[in-house]
Every structure is written in structure tokens, then in C-alpha cells.
Chain A
Amino acid sequence: QCPHKWKKVQCSLCKSKKHSKERCPSIWRAYILIDDDQMVKPKVLPFHTIYCYNCGEKGHFGDDCNERRSSRVPNEDGSAFTGSNLSSELK
């Protein structure tokens, strides 16, 4: 038996298995939202405002691209540019 057995980590803040709760991106990826009553929420997102950092096409974000990843740096925890970083009613 190896004494340095790989220990399973799971973040108790976001349930991800890729980091511990001491290194959870939610610690720094926090936004101050505009007050709900002052917010002019667009109902549908204008298609032309979404561009992909990976393939350059419009209509999806880079994290959600189906093409082979262009950057050789891994993106394990996900970045700001994903559909899941939209408020729930717009996903």
C-alpha cells in the first residue's frame, strides 16, 4: 500500500472535484450586481454580442466551443466566458 495515496478532493463551496475549498474560484469570481429594480434586463441576448475566443465564430462563448482547443494552456475550472456565467433566465 502506498502511504501517499491520492486523496479525493471536493470543494464544499461549489461541489467541483478539481480543487479544494481553499482554492475555489468563487472566492475571487464574485460580482456586485446592479440592483434588481434598477436593472434593465434584456429578455433575449443580441446574437451579435457573443463571440468565441477559441474559434472566432459568433453565437457561443469560448468555454462552450466544440472545436479543438486552440490554447495549449488547460482550462480546468472554466472561465468567465461560458454560457453558465449568464443569469439563469438567459441560459
Chain B
Amino acid sequence: ILNTDYPWILNHDHSRQKEISDWLTFEIKDFVAYISPSREEIEIRNQTISTIREALKQLWPDADLHVFGSYSTDLYLPGSDIDCVVNSELGGKESRNNLYSLASHLKKNNLATEIEVVAKARVPIIKFVEPHSRIHIDVSFERTNGLEAAKLIREWLNDTPGLRELVLIVKQFLHARRLNNVHTGGLGGFSIICLVFSFLHMHPRIITKEIDSKDNLGVLLIEFFELYGKNFGYDDVALGSSDGYPIYFPKSSWSAIQPIKNPFSLAIQDPGDESNNISRGSFNIRDIKKAFAGAFDLLTNRCFELHSATFKDRLGKSILGNVIKYRGKAR
């Protein structure tokens, strides 16, 4: 009888919750626990990284490998790739010859298949699949900004309860609609984190310390979609930070992004470089806003529907299921 389309609800029935937003809060926690990696998966990932690091040091003794991006902040979905960077004391490892020599070194040691060398991009990378773990890995060279961003995000996660849960739900939501890839105009991981971080730190009930975000994830998720799907002034407002706290400010006062070619666009100031708009690649903000508004409608309609249903009809139902469309393999 139980609905196996939504595996995170198995043995986690909350249909008797009095408040529908509490039911949603519990379901969010169940989903986050469900997609979080097992100890075994974490060990395989760490093993894979250290094997590649050893192989790298064999080739270039002055170099080291660091993980950044979603894997280093624990904000990844199952099957997402690992972002690494090679930094070296002597420098210069980003040259084209070096990309190819690392690629063939990894191949020779049976550490890489399906290798792709993207040498001409703004950020040259090697993409490959590690054959034992089947994990997809991207390696870039001689960059530190990703490592700094990851450090900042870990700080944010430490002092913003609820950030991790909401980011994972929003990521999964955008992933299911193919709106999370910057190469196709979608929202990148760092932009998603900035939107959720700023939403949480500006919420009227949170700034007054009236609520604990962790107990209110359900209503907060709906209100996140309400803000960025219906109300946010994308034409006029930019996100930034001041003394480490998120702020809004008028786009017109941000000289680095003038003249603005497309007024209906998201503008998020890079916390590490105030002239950099980290969401400038997200040109498909129209579809992203529409999707957020659609999520708001789906969630609130589902709440109204289940609120007036009998307990018998509520049994085994999911609130999130149709919104996040998780179709991963059973875990």
C-alpha cells in the first residue's frame, strides 16, 4: 500500500501531525537523511581522493590536491561529481602540456577513464571517471578562490541552522528541472547557497529570534519559494554582504555591473570580490523564477488538500514528492 515512488517516506509516516507545516518539516528531514551518504560511501570517496593525490605527487612532488565545491561542504546530491584543484609550490601547472601529462599519468595508472581535457576554457580542467568507484571527478589547476568560498560556506553552515537542509531541497528541486547547471543558464551551487543564506538571515521571525529554523523547515521552504518565485525584485535588487551578514542593495548602485544589459537578472555579489557577480551566468532566471513560483503553488495546494483530508486518506502520502521529483536509485 505504501508509495515506493517516494522511498524516504517508508517507515516515516507523519500523516497524523496536526499542523501540516510540521508534517512538511519532518518530511524534509527524512529526505535529507535519505540522500545523505552512508559511512561506506564517504570512505570510498575519501579513498578515491587520496589515491589520486598520491598519483599526482608521484608525477609532481611539489603539487597537492584539494577538494572544494559541494563535496567539501557536504552539500551534494547522490551521483554529483567531485571538484578538485591542483596547487603547486612552483606554479604553472595549468599550462596545456601539464593538463595532458596529468591526464595520461592517471590513465596509465588505471585511475581515470572517459577522460576529457578542456584546455581552452576560462578555467582549464580535466574531467574523468575514476574506474573503481565510478565517481566523476573534475580537476582544475592553480586556483584558490574555490577553496576560499568552500571555507566561507562551511562557516555559514555552522552558524545558520536549517541552511544545509533547505539548500539540499532547493538543489534537488532545480536538478530535477535541469535548472542547476550554469552552462545552460541555471543556478550554480554557490548562488543557491547565497539565496537560502540571505533568506534565513532576513526572515522576520528569525531576526527576532522567535523561531528555531530547524523546527520550522516546512514553512520556511514554502516561504523561500514565495520570496524568490513571487516577490523578489530581480530587476532592481542585488544580494550582497556587509560584515559577514547578508544584505540587499539597489542594483543601480553597483557600479561594477553597469551598464546592465538584461534588467531581469539575478545579481549576487561575490563575498570574496565585490566587483564579481557570481550569478552572471544564470541567464535563465525567468524559468528559475517560474519554477520557484510553481513550487510554491504545488506545495501550498498540497497543504490545503491534505489539511482537509481524513487521516485515512493522508496515510502514506508525501508532500514533497511531486515538488522535488527525486528519481534516484533506491538507497
- Chain A interface: which of B14-22, B80-88, B114-122? B14-22
The answer, among A28, A49, A61, A73, for a CB contact under 8 Å with B300, is: A28
Residues of A within 8 A of B310 (CB): none
Q: Which residues of B contact A39 (CB under 8 A)?
A: 209-210
Interface residues contributed by chain B, number (CB under 8 Å): 48
Q: Could you tell me the dominant secondary structure of chain A's interface residues? A: loop
CB pair A70–B237 under 8 Å, yes or no, is yes
Per a CB cutoff under 8 Å, which of A31, A41, A70 touches B216? A31
B residues 194-235 touching A (CB-CB < 8 Å)? 201-205, 207-212, 215-216, 218-219, 222-223, 226-227, 229-235
Convert A43-61 into 0s and 1s, putting 1 for each residue whose CB lies closer than 8 angstroms to a CB of B. Answer: 0011011111111111001
Separation in Å of the B290 CB from the closest CB of chain A? 9
Please tell me if the beta carbons of B209 and A53 are within 8 angstroms of each other in the complex. no
Pairs A–B under 8 Å by Cβ, sample size 23: A22-B304, A28-B300, A28-B303, A28-B307, A30-B20, A30-B21, A31-B205, A33-B211, A40-B209, A41-B208, A46-B207, A48-B245, A49-B201, A50-B202, A56-B248, A57-B250, A61-B204, A70-B233, A71-B231, A79-B227, A81-B202, A81-B231, A85-B204
B→A interface (CB under 8 Å): 19-22, 24, 201-205, 207-212, 215-216, 218-219, 222-223, 226-227, 229-238, 242, 245, 247-251, 293, 299-300, 303-304, 307-308
Task: Enumerate chain A interface residues (CB-CB to B < 8 A).
Answer: 22-23, 25, 27-34, 39-42, 45-46, 48-58, 61-63, 69-71, 73, 75, 79-83, 85-87, 90
